[in-house]
A and B are shown apart, each in its own frame.
Chain A
Amino acid sequence: MNKNRGLIILLLVACLCTYLLNDRFLHPANVENLLRRTALFSLISIGVSFVIVSGGIDLSIGSVVCLVGTLLPWLAVHQGWSWPIALALLLAVASVLGFLHGVLITKLRLQPFIVTLCGLLLYRGITRGLTADQTQGFGLGFEELRSISLTRFSLGDTLPVAIPSVVFITMLIASLATLFMNHTRYGLYLRALGRNEVATRYAGIDTDRLKICAYTACALLAGVGGVLFILDVNSAQPSDFGNFYELYAIAAAVLGGCSLRGGDWSIIGIIIGAALMQVLRNAIVLVDIPTQLEFAIIGGVILVGVGVEEVVRVTRQTRKMRGV
């Protein structure tokens, strides 16, 4: 918690400023929307955090989101598949893609950046080809499927806000991820490997298998994210659905303290990082900032956040060194 203090303050300041400039920020519908978006982005961010903690990177997340998110309605609506089968197949495909990334990176010793960059191009291209670039969606059908995302849990009379179901899905996955990372030996192996892969291998640990698992988990969570994203918006254009999501996911993880040098991980940090980005995007709409500036603002805030964090860390470290 201590480590994320700066980020929490940044989030609170962003919320406060937005609210002062437009009090609709705390309108129940807006809060619910923020919760939903934060949960969705946290999910793919948790996925990529496994890869980042191992010292790697995954740039293909947005395209996996697109692949799964647009092919699900395509298979169910256009090809007439039953949706549970389509869902299971697409999640399996996502896992296999992640597995392949891992194998190419560990066994062929290709660089993660290159492998997943090719993934980014390939999966979007394949999706656009299969769907002939046609917008995909469920329309008004498939109520059972869409209910996964549409269900909301009202908090009774105490608060007017209802909690979207995706928040609970993300909480469940976040708990599992925390359990894995902080309380199982594989979590320790993964962090050790991110900090010093050679030493970890020399300690007798199968680092290749761990890395493959990390890429598989990342792609699977991107796939789950893709399903929930399409259920949320119900209409996806293959050419831009999921665009830049890998960068939002990576940015949230990095803001949350997962250094790209590997080894560091914090679930609270990841979720707050994701929340901060959603609040910023929300603020741009509410405060009447031209949406063309969205990227510039998000980029600037991330840079300041990460920069301040690093300065604080270095000063604290030097002080500690001198103090001992």
Chain B
Amino acid sequence: MALLLEAKDMTKSFGTNTVLHDVSLTLERGEIVSIIGENGAGKSTLAKIVAGVAYPDSGTLLLDGQPVTFAHPRDAIECGIGMVHQELNIAENLSIAENILLGHEYTRWGALCKRSMHDTARRALAQLELELDPRRIASTLSAAQRQLVEIARALAFDARIVILDEPTSSLSEQEGGLLLELLLKLKRGGVSVLYVSHRIPEVQRISDRVIALRDGRNSGELCAAQLERDTIIKLIVGREMKDIYGYTPRIAGDVALELGNFQASDNHAPCDLSLRRGEIVGIAGLIGSGRTEFLESIFGISRARAGTTRINGSFVSITSPQDACSVGLALVPESRKEQGIIASSSIRENTVLSVLRTLSRTVVRNRKRETSLAADFIEKLRIRCTGPEQRVAELSGGNQQKVVLARCLATSPSVLLLDEPTRGVDVGARREIYSILFELAAQGLAILFVSSELEEVLGIADRVLVMNAGRITGDLPRSTLSEHSIMALASHHTSKEAA
């Protein structure tokens, strides 16, 4: 087989944060190569560089042995490279055909030539054995169908290489399985696939070769015969798995948060939940199972449909985040940039935002106390920065996450809610965040977190609640936890509409 694509010594930084150091990659014709690694290892960035979405600071890209530079995704598409991004990139108000051909519409005299667009879209869908009407509006599709439409888009322009970035993260197990079958079929048709994932079973099933990244560097390469689970894990984390979590059992105290017949929204079933001081409880489930909405309604961001909330034994009514903060709840939200930090403000201003009222008795602020509080947290949470006045935008993802944590902890909450606590956080900082959470729990904080990373849930939770289509389908103590037990409860009876 001839070498189709080769990336040599790719280096890329965002601001002060170098995400790729001299990373290399090869891909042959008709081969499926998986790129594996932890969150923040640089997998997505490498994939984006190959697809022309990101531009490397240095390094060369060879296609058929010829050096190429992609200044724009369109350049890559013209060379036969199509990419399916991690987040769904579907314009919901447009039809399937318009989505597939977005940016490449056929026109005659400036007017859209709908018939030939529909024909091309239908051919691309047929390659995936999908019988969807190309005129259908994307908002009527399920998450799985949307994902397939994205793959059809990547294939629509005679792609020789298809790049998929975590394509199964929004799919149920069955849907994911079908997707993998499809990739194997494409491979037999001569298409090369770059598959970015951290899900080991998927990688084992389809890969001809695996390239592992760790902290932005190549950490090893395995051929199909070597794909043992433990070997892969070792390449990903660089040490035994349990090391990065360092779980130690704790004794749980009194009940800190108690939900009675709590119904988060119309799409949720009523449930009871009790969370003790010193306990770390994880909520697992597929994307779209309603975990985030559940957490947000506890915190008062959306109003719960029904039910009671008790904090430390007394009933409280929470209809807004202000209410939640005042009764001792704090939330580290899912999306750091949009919901967590004020990027262009300083670490000090972010840290004190929720507690200004208590730092000064008058309306005039007390900057001395603000600075010393921020400095305290910088030390306690080991935030790497030049000082309390550094702008949060200049920090790495992990340190930004610690700033959000600092803001939450400054309120001395009795219950800490976290939504995807380590999304986009590098391995080193993740470890630190876990050890901080263990420390907090040992001091009696009750912690409830949502995570899509099964390894993380297995690694730090004392107890796991599994959510499936808005219903809590399982409450598993640590002794019964396994990837299998959680996935079985998470994807059982999943209706397509749930996503």
Contact = CB atoms under 8 A, between A and B. Distances in A.
A34 to B, nearest CB: 34
Contacts of B301: 201-202
A192 B345 contact: yes
Contact of B321 (A188, A203, A263): A203
B129 interface: no
Contacts of A192: 342, 345, 349, 353
Contacts of A186: 363
Given A195-B345, A202-B333, A184 B339 contact: no
Interface in B327-353: 331, 333, 338-345, 349, 353
Given A202-B301, A324-B394, A185 B356 contact: yes
B326 interface: yes
A198 B339 CA distance: 5
Contacts of B333: 199, 202
B354 interface: yes
Contacts of A205: 321-322, 353-354
B357 interface: yes
| A interface, over-half SS | helix
A253 B325 CA distance: 34
B324 A204 contact: yes
A263 B344 contact: yes
Contacts of A198: 338-339
B103 interface: no
Nearest to A208: B320
B365 A199 contact: no
Contacts of B324: 204
- Most chain-A CB neighbours within 10 Å: which of B16, B357, B363, B411? B363
B189 interface: no
B407 A185 contact: no
Contacts of B325: 203-204
Given A183-B365, A204-B321, A204-B326, A195 B15 contact: no
B128 to A, nearest CB: 37
A206 B320 contact: yes
A321 interface: yes
A199 B339 CA distance: 4
Contact of A188 (B326, B341, B344, B349): B349
Contacts of B339: 198-199, 202
A200 interface: yes
Contacts of A324: 15-16, 394
Contact of B342 (A185, A199, A321): A199
B360 interface: yes
Interface in B378-400: 394
Nearest to A187: B365
A204 B357 CA distance: 11
Contacts of A203: 321, 325, 353-354, 407
A184 B322 contact: no
A195 B344 contact: yes
Nearest to A261: B344
A37 interface: no
A196 interface: yes
Given A185-B360, A196-B341, A198-B339, A321 B349 contact: no
A196 B365 contact: no
A25 to B, nearest CB: 39
Given A203-B407, A206-B322, A195 B353 contact: no
A191 interface: yes
B16 A202 contact: no
B2 interface: no
Contact of B343 (A195, A202, A206): A195
A84 to B, nearest CB: 30
A184 B340 contact: no
Interface of A: 179, 183-186, 188-189, 191-192, 195-196, 198-206, 263, 321, 324
Given A195-B342, A205-B354, 13 more contacts: A185-B357, A188-B356, A192-B349, A196-B341, A199-B338, A199-B339, A199-B340, A202-B333, A204-B321, A204-B325, A205-B322, A205-B353, A206-B322
5 contacts: A192-B342, A200-B342, A203-B354, A205-B353, A206-B320
